[in-house]
Each structure stands twice: as C-alpha cells, then as structure tokens.
Amino acid sequence: MQSGVTITETKEKTSTELEGTWNVVVFDDPVNLMGYVTKIFEKIFGYPRERAEHLMMTVHLAGKALVWTGTRERAELYAQQLQSYQLQASLEKAG
C-alpha cells in the first residue's frame, strides 16, 4: 500500500515536470556544413531561408541556438528529426 502511494506521487510529479513550454536547442560540431544546417532548419521547421541562416550562424558563432519553443511532445519530435540529420540537439525547459 505504501509502495502504491509512492508510485502515484512520482508519476504525478513527472507528468507536471513535462508540462509547460520547452526549447529545442541545437549545438555546434566541427563537421556539419553551414549550408546543410540551414537546409535542415528550413526542411524541419519550415523557416524561411533568412531565419534558418540566422539560426545556423548563431549555432556556429555561439556554439548553440534555440531553434524552436513549444510543447514537450512536439519538441521531442523535432529533436529526433534533427538528430536523424546528424545534428546534436536537446531539450530545455523554457522560462
């Protein structure tokens, strides 16, 4: 009985932690070509060329860039897509 109560509390806490707004962050690496990274941002997020290039340059110069903000579920989908194109990506809780 004690065990069941503990599990329920843990699940509620985890669920709450995953709610809210999440950032997708892309990190720089020594190999990916600038034009390729721009193209991938256009392809995945549907960003216009200018915005995609700006984000690519931010990754290149600052080492990382916040490329999208929204729900956890959608952020995970984008992170998976970015990684499938061999870009290092992670999620951060916004705010």
Q: Which of 5, 7, 33, 61 binds another protein (CB under 8 A)?
A: 33
- Interacting residues of 85 by C-beta distance below 8 A, sequence separation 6+: 40, 44
Q: Does 8 bind another protein (CB under 8 A)?
A: no
Q: Does 39 bind another protein (CB under 8 A)?
A: yes
Comparison of 55 and 79: residue with beta carbon closer to another protein: 79
H-state helical runs in the chain: 2-18, 34-45, 49-62, 72-84
Question: Which 8-state DSSP code applies to residue 45?
Answer: H
**Residues binding another protein (CB under 8 A):** 14, 17-18, 25, 27, 29-33, 35-36, 39, 76, 79-80, 83-91
